[in-house]
Structure 1
């Protein structure tokens, strides 16, 4: 007898400190967690900015000196993690503050995992029970501080790390990779450039949209995804139009965390394709999801008419049903200046077979509303290259 579809496991986020100015509580939180010399892991584009310097100085004045590590690619690699572990050990650090976009958060969590391990990082890929190999006593505590509203990595129990030798993005997982404390401070996202605000916001939309359509049983996650898309519909255009809109920035940080909570229900073909494309072409993950979104929706249409009808009603879209949701997605992309095709960001058709094969075995693929094979993924990829909807 097959196992019931209701037989599953649910997990929910960690302690979260929400509101403007909360980043100033970092020294106190470090002391509460027993961190005397944390390592700040941040993006290379942020490390020299006044925002990060203020964090470093605030902690130093409060008696919590920080070692700083920022040698991270936009799609963090295994070598980035190894380099971070070396810096962590050289400075005698005892915890991680991951501050930045998804790359810094993923790298910071992976560094905190790997500090006390003897196995290589790839042995902790989210396959089967690999996570049981982790020496949990060697893991370090993490405080996560997102500065973009997209990945939701701050409430995730995994990191997406690129294996440069294999040219694959791999999901590194352990339940205790979930940060112990999250700071959602919208002041840290003020002034983020409009294109990055748009791309990361569309990434948050992709998480919620795919979770809403996924096949696994998780009504709570489904409800969270629906409400998060309402917030995105209202506040993402405001955040893109005015980078100083604190209310919009706050609501988008929340919607981003909601997306990563919701995708416990599963993701789908957008991410199954975005992962190999990111590994092969080193493109921004959120931008890839934004470009792929309408092509995946259209290919999934026969299986998602009902949830799209509910979504269109909840968002009060001008047109009901699937057509209304597709129009909304296309409008957002045009309004934000997001390209319509992969070709516009330098991705051609020559790797179609490789991309399709990689997508078909990606961990995000099994929860797609339809079971796509290699030919299906090749077709979606070619449509996204050519602009055929």
Structure 2
């Protein structure tokens, strides 16, 4: 089972690691700090602390605070222009996966002419090579969800075409990642759950993927074990730093997992949901789809032994059949208090499923190649329907 491993990001992991940022070898002297259009990093003091650390290191800073959940193409275009206008030589992404994903796209448009979609390879993207090296990125994650702090892709939404798809390049690996669970203590319970399940599904999909290998299996199973054991406590007692740290570790492993193996079409299907419904949190969409999606794989005996092994890691030590995985997943969803999620609550209607299935196949078609069972458009629609409430 051969594999290639390339994860060049230096990681500072653990409680209090943000305090060590000033002592690191930073990739420039003027940083564009990229944060969300919300208030959390400001009111919780994380922005002030980050600016202080950078200033101690002799770095001048400029703030870009426009990133929304499921970041949009116009936003990253403005971010790229802000980096140019202020002659910034590197980026600092402070926030969750949306901020880090946006930073990767901003890094590209800051140094390359034209539109971001010129450099997108999926869907309506023009697939042009990224001619000029993107700006370096320092990623300081305040959530445990995407693993984007240690991979080379950032997912962006094009509202004009309803496409949600990644910009990718080895040059988009952050040069430095700070994974400090103290910055995650203020994430509200439901978002802790959404983000934790996103991290869990990165590892589950990587373990089930056709691209799985000896290294990715080791990484994924440890992450699945850690997240399953500690996510409920992180949700219900966010100040428990042991739980926060273990979930953050599982999330960090998920980023590595995506470099070793790869997500499956569950992520493509969810990106189609939130491409049409911007307000849908990515992790919530994955939870909505998960039982129907994995039940389809189990019904078709995609890889029975792997589902049994995951069930054992997720709290059913005597699991002996693939359906035990669905029990373990349902238990975890219930224990995290997210078992009442409904597509209909976000305005999603069943008559949208055909266009969403087509969208998933076009905008994120590359992930279908990792499935052990080939999904047709009709199969995708059937999964959407089975997941719908």
TM-score, normalised with respect to structure 2: 0.91
Give matches, 1:182-193, under 5 Å.
182-193=177-188
Counterpart secondary structure, 2:28: coil
Partner of 1:312: 311
Query: Are the equivalent residues in 2 in contact too, given 1:268–1:369 (CA < 8 A)?
Result: no
CA RMSD of aligned residues (A): 2.1
Partner of 1:3: none
Q: Deviations over 1:280-324 (max 9, x none)?
A: 001111111111111100001121311011222344516513222
Partner of 2:330: 330
Given candidates 74, 98, 103, the residue that maps to 2:98 is 103
Partner of 1:65: 60
Q: State yes or no: 1:270 paired with 2:266.
A: yes
108 and 297 in structure 1: CA distance in 2 versus 1, 3 angstrom threshold: same
Partner of 2:290: 293
Q: State yes or no: 1:260 paired with 2:259.
A: no
Given candidates 272, 275, 279, the residue that maps to 2:275 is 279
- Of residues 146-155 and 109-118 in structure 1, the stretch that sits farther from structure 2 once superposed is 109-118
Whole-angstrom CA distance in 1 between matches of 2:221 and 2:381: 30
Whole-angstrom CA distance in 2 between matches of 1:18 and 1:359: 34
Q: How many angstroms does 1:257 deviate by?
A: 1.5
Q: Structure 2: which 5+ residue stretches go unaligned?
A: none
Partner of 1:133: 129
Give matches, 1:1-389, under 5 Å.
9-29=4-24, 32-45=25-38, 46-49=40-43, 50-60=45-55, 63-127=58-122, 133-137=129-133, 139-264=134-259, 265-282=261-278, 283-301=280-298, 302-317=301-316, 320=319, 321-338=321-338, 339-361=340-362, 362=364, 363-386=366-389
Q: How many angstroms does 1:171 deviate by?
A: 1.1
Q: How many angstroms does 1:141 deviate by?
A: 1.1
Counterpart secondary structure, 1:334: helix
Query: Are the equivalent residues in 1 in contact too, given 2:2–2:213 (CA < 8 A)?
Result: no
Whole-angstrom CA distance in 2 between matches of 1:235 and 1:311: 16
Whole-angstrom CA distance in 2 between matches of 1:316 and 1:103: 31
Whole-angstrom CA distance in 1 between matches of 2:104 and 2:180: 19
Q: How many angstroms does 1:372 deviate by?
A: 0.4
Q: How many angstroms does 1:230 deviate by?
A: 0.4
- Of residues 121-130 and 70-79 in structure 1, the stretch that sits farther from structure 2 once superposed is 121-130
Q: Deviations over 1:125-179 (max 9, x none)?
A: 2459987721244x21111111100000001101101111111012101111000
Whole-angstrom CA distance in 1 between matches of 2:58 and 2:3: 45
Whole-angstrom CA distance in 1 between matches of 2:27 and 2:330: 48
Q: How many angstroms does 1:12 deviate by?
A: 2.9
Counterpart secondary structure, 2:30: coil
Q: Structure 1: which 5+ residue stretches go unaligned?
A: 1-5
Query: Are the equivalent residues in 2 in contact too, given 1:318–1:324 (CA < 8 A)?
Result: no
Count of residues in correspondence between the two structures: 378
Q: How many angstroms does 1:13 deviate by?
A: 4.9
Whole-angstrom CA distance in 2 between matches of 1:104 and 1:123: 21
Query: Are the equivalent residues in 1 in contact too, given 2:314–2:328 (CA < 8 A)?
Result: no
Query: Are the equivalent residues in 2 in contact too, given 1:27–1:62 (CA < 8 A)?
Result: yes
Counterpart secondary structure, 1:38: strand
26 and 132 in structure 1: CA distance in 2 versus 1, 3 angstrom threshold: farther
Whole-angstrom CA distance in 2 between matches of 1:10 and 1:126: 23
Query: Are the equivalent residues in 1 in contact too, given 2:224–2:313 (CA < 8 A)?
Result: no
- Of residues 289-298 and 325-334 in structure 1, the stretch that sits farther from structure 2 once superposed is 325-334
TM-score, normalised with respect to structure 1: 0.91
Query: Are the equivalent residues in 1 in contact too, given 2:277–2:346 (CA < 8 A)?
Result: no
Counterpart secondary structure, 1:234: helix
Whole-angstrom CA distance in 1 between matches of 2:27 and 2:172: 17
Counterpart secondary structure, 2:157: strand
368 and 42 in structure 1: CA distance in 2 versus 1, 3 angstrom threshold: same
Whole-angstrom CA distance in 2 between matches of 1:287 and 1:9: 32
